[in-house]
Structure 1
Amino acid sequence: MEGLLIHALLRELAPELPAQNLGLAFPDEGSLALLLKGRSGRIFNLVLRYRPPSPSLVLEGGTLLGEAKTPFQRMLQARMRGPLLAAEQLKLDRVVFLRFAGEKGFVDTPPSTLVLEATGRNANLLLLDEAGRILGVDRVITQEVNRYRELRPGLPYTPPPPYEKLDPRTLKAEDLRLLLGRPLKEVVRHVDGVGLELMRELARRAGLTPETPLDEAALERVFQALKGLVEDPALRTALTEELRAKWAEEEKEALRKPLLEALERERKTLLARLADYQRALDRLEEAAALRQKADLLLARLKEVPKGAEKVVLEGFDGKPVEVALGPTVSPQENAKKLYERARRLEALAERALDLIPKTEAKVQALEGEMARLRQADLAELLALTRKPREGKGSKVGLRYTSPSGFAVWVGRNAKENDLLTRAAHSEDLWFHAQGVPGSHVILKVEGQNPPLEDLLFAARLAAYHSKARGEAQVPVDYTRKKHVWRPRKAAPGQALYTHAKTLFVEGTLPKAVAEE
């Protein structure tokens, strides 16, 4: 959830504060619904979804139910008492502070502050006391994970690292001049509260595309669109036909560019090799001259002074020939070294003769591929971009085929687990044996809902390729790959995940398993 969207929601909430706290509900382990009665008498839910990868803060009507499901949620139920006094945002960052007054009673409940960090994959929810110390946290963060700050009970709360960006609520037109000549998408780096989705919305409103280099006129349009975005950041999807065509073309170019650059790097490497091979051919004359000098040394041994660094001998054609010598070795040894140098040059030339036509064919094939790539449509480019890159030699990981024909990938070590998970489609299914070290298993369904037999097939592979191999009942979690992420600074193969379901299977290979 982006900063300006949070700002708009808090602006809508502000007239209702302070609001009476009517109670909490917990629809699931990663959600909190706070039932409020505002100053106007309106009753509504302030809903916090605080688990990665898609946290959010929304106002909803109706009735939401759910008992506390985790120790942290039970703490919230006990400590978040009294009216909601204020809802504040840290700059336009995705960090919100909800301040509660506490409650007088037989046992007083002191004031507290709930902190929502709606920061994508690092999302979290914390409860602070009056002094700003952490009472509880949904996800404990240690120094091993984040050197900048620790988030665990008992420590003072430290917000995310500070940053400097333009505030769209107060900026002037001239403040945007730092974007002059740059593409519109650079606004994400320089303007607070604007992420990728709002950048695209800004482009729609300004009638530009994300890749448009900004001139003076475009900057003015962006400035006006930013002001409108602050007042109403609601996302829309309508595009004119002309703008839709421009966006489609830019999307194609954005996909095409890295593919062409990779092919061009390979082409330059091959051309450099061709140049080396040609130099090797050109040195054949040098090899012939070295052989002639070696022959001459052996024929004129008596004319070579002992310890000389060079000697001038009469050549076989009667002309003088100067020969450089190693003064510490005999004329015979000098001749032997000249023969060896000549043989190396001749071997390089012979190899070059063999490799030049093969390399030229590779260059020609690459240039043909680049020409086809320049003419490729969006569907072809997407297919090429999503195609997993495999290294030379054997494939990354084990490959199987499920009973219904879906591909199944299995990592064999931490590096392969990391590579396969990153290469998987966001809607593929990811499997891992619960609570034990083991392989990451990917069922390549790309959003489809496979039959149960395919799920069990992949789950058994995950159980077999884990520390639970051979056990009768192995719990295996599975979820869409988009709900799996690697924590910051974590080692390859380590992963966190949400939205998981669990299957119980035997820790043995499925029957009739077929590895590709």
Structure 2
Amino acid sequence: MPIDGLLLNKLIREAQIFEGEKIRNIYQPVNDEVLLQLQSGFLLFVLKNPSYLIKLESKPNMPDTPQNFSMFLRKRIKNAKIIKIEQLGLDRIGYIELSVIDETFELRNYKLYFELMGRNSNILLIDEENKIMDALKKGVSPKRSIMPGAKYIPFYKREYINILENENLYDLNQPFMGFSKISKNLFYEYIEKYDYISFVSEFLDNLNVYTFEYNGKKEILAFKPVNFKYDEFQNPSEGLLNFFELQSMNSRFLELKKRLEKTVIKEIEKYERLYKKLKNEEKEIREIPDLEKKGRLLQAYLYQFKEKTDFVVVEDWETGEKIKINLNPLKTPNENLQVIFKKVHKLKSKEIHLKERIKITKKMIDYLYQLWQSIDFVEDIETLMEIKEEMIQEKILQDKTKNKRRKRSNSKPYEFEFNGFKIFVGKNNIQNDKITREADREDIWMHAQGIPGAHVIIKTNKKEVPMEVLLFGAKLAAKYSKGRYSSKVSVDYTMKKHVWKPKGSKPGMVLYNNFKTLYVEPI
């Protein structure tokens, strides 16, 4: 449900506590948000859908470089005194009246209008002549111009009825000001159970807001939803924060997950292109013996060929066969011989490093697929932040907070209990390393064979692990692997003492031996 005019009324009344205070600073946390820092708190305007204003006790994270609109507002209204904060009727529009001494030491009176209308939301600074000084979103439409110097016309329909000022409310066809469809329906339920006078009295008497379930969705309302179970909050900002908390975390989680996944896929594509290139070079390396032989034969029979030609045919003295040697017709046979020797030397020099590069690149691809699998499986923001931290450490993701101390996440692995045995499953590479490193030597370590997946640890407590427990652990390893949709997955298991991490290996990457294999269906 969008934030309607009734809820905005209570948010504005709550914000009126800032009247008489000065604006200490102005920020833009993101492009469509404006934050006023006041003497006793913060006032945040969110200018996207849903749009609202909210009173905050502490400052949210800010970008290092201020954006243009916040810089303009700082120049014009920093240190301005708030005279009053008002709503226009019950609509989703209001203003903050300001008084400030400008750079010429003249007293100026401005109005900072906020239009909180979903995707059409805006915030504008208006001068004493009711002209637009600047706006977050500029544009021209048939009804009005939002450009500096234009006369400001509020996006406000005066003909709509303000229910706080009009008692003739029983005609359902009347256009009410500031109502959403849901709040209008619930308003009629309220006055049917009680009456209009009670509604107005209760509405104006407090700032309470209510969250409740409506058609399977969580909604927020500025008055009591009489036929629903609800949670009551004594101030609207607290209720709004509660209402948006899950939505905000989900949005942040999905946005970060998508960004990390996109980055990893891009890295996989890059390294797979490199791997393909190296494998093609490896094919050239296999040609060294043949190329050397042709070089020796051409050298032996060089005295027979003086003219430029595109090929020569010579006899292989080892087999007696005729060998055709293709040449560059623009070069002499002797020059072609030098080209062959140079190519052989170059390929032999490359051979020394090529195998190691192929090995390193293959390991990187395996690691990236493991990382991708971890991102795909992640279910909570804490684990996702650990993956982000890992990607920064591995130089896959750029660290934009080099000079800031990052708060380390401390998420926990999945924990299961089966027939008296505890089983841990890593949610990401950092956890995979941690649970494997901290396992006892006799604990059972499990992993899906040959595919990206989680490490699984069965805590043995030095007891023999029954087959049904091993099978359950194997099913978990299959479930939390790339093979989770397969009908059968091969899962290797061994004691932790047979698992080791090679020096310099990537997070989550280990080697193991003395293992057995189970074939299971994922849970």
Q: TM range, normalised to the smaller chain?
A: 0.3 to 0.5
Calculate the TM-score normalised by the size of structure 1.
0.39
Calculate the TM-score normalised by the size of structure 2.
0.38
